[in-house]
Amino acid sequence: MNSKEKKEIKVPMKEQFGNYMVPVRDALEVFSGKWKIPIITALSFYESCGFKELERIVEDITPKMLSKELKFLEDNLLITRKVEDTRPVTISYSITEYGRTCKSVMSELYRWGVEHRKKVFNIEGKTWDKCLGH
């Protein structure tokens, strides 16, 4: 129990790093999950999409998840929802300028992920094809 007996005293993370995990968790909330990155990517590419359009672009997503994630992304100022004055009324979802800052994070995840596949599964080019659809 005496500190003399311990060769090295290792303090808890918070003492060492403060609350560095708080912003990391904020970021993870935006980028983790099955659908947020695909939606952000779709809107980064297409500028503006309707709800049903997104349902088709982001394959296999259910309307419930799409609706939920769009609200989340809007709350986080990454996209906008605009009601267009057309008949019938259409909605256009677009990425914001701020939303485009996600690209650097997504690129880093992609880059690391590619290296990770090489390292862990020893996949370079050939076997890689297996992962494309099938």
Partner DNA sequence: CATACTGCTATACTTTTGGATACCACTATA
Partner DNA sequence: TATAGTGGTATCCAAAAGTATAGCAGTATG
Binding site for DNA (CB under 7 A): 1, 33-35, 50-53, 60-65, 67, 70, 81, 87-92
CA distances from 48 to 64, 82, 115, 123 (A): 20, 10, 32, 36
Binding residue for a second copy, selected from 18, 88, 89, 126, defined by CB under 8 A: 18
> How many residues of this chain bind a second copy (CB under 8 A)?
55
Could you give the CA distance from residue 41 to residue 29 in angstroms, rounded to a whole number?
16
Q: Where are any strands of DSSP class E within the chain? A: 48-49, 79-84, 90-95
Instruction: Count CB neighbours of 98 within 10 A.
Output: 11
Question: Considering CB distances under 5 to 8 angstroms, the limit depending on partner class, which of a second copy, DNA, none binds residue 61?
Answer: DNA
Binding residue for a second copy, selected from 4, 5, 59, 125, defined by CB under 8 A: 59
What is the 8-class DSSP label of residue 99? Answer: G
Minimum CB distance to a second copy, residue 113 (Å): 3
Question: Considering CB distances under 5 to 8 angstroms, the limit depending on partner class, which of a second copy, DNA, none binds residue 81?
Answer: DNA
Task: Measure CA of the first residue to CA of the last residue in the chain; give whole Å.
Answer: 58
Question: Considering CB distances under 5 to 8 angstroms, the limit depending on partner class, which of a second copy, DNA, none binds residue 132?
Answer: a second copy
> Is residue 44 within 8 Å of 99, Cβ to Cβ?
yes
Site residues (CB under 8 A) for a second copy? 10-14, 16-28, 30-32, 37-38, 41-42, 45-46, 49, 53, 56-59, 76-77, 98, 101-102, 104-106, 108-110, 112-117, 119-120, 131-133
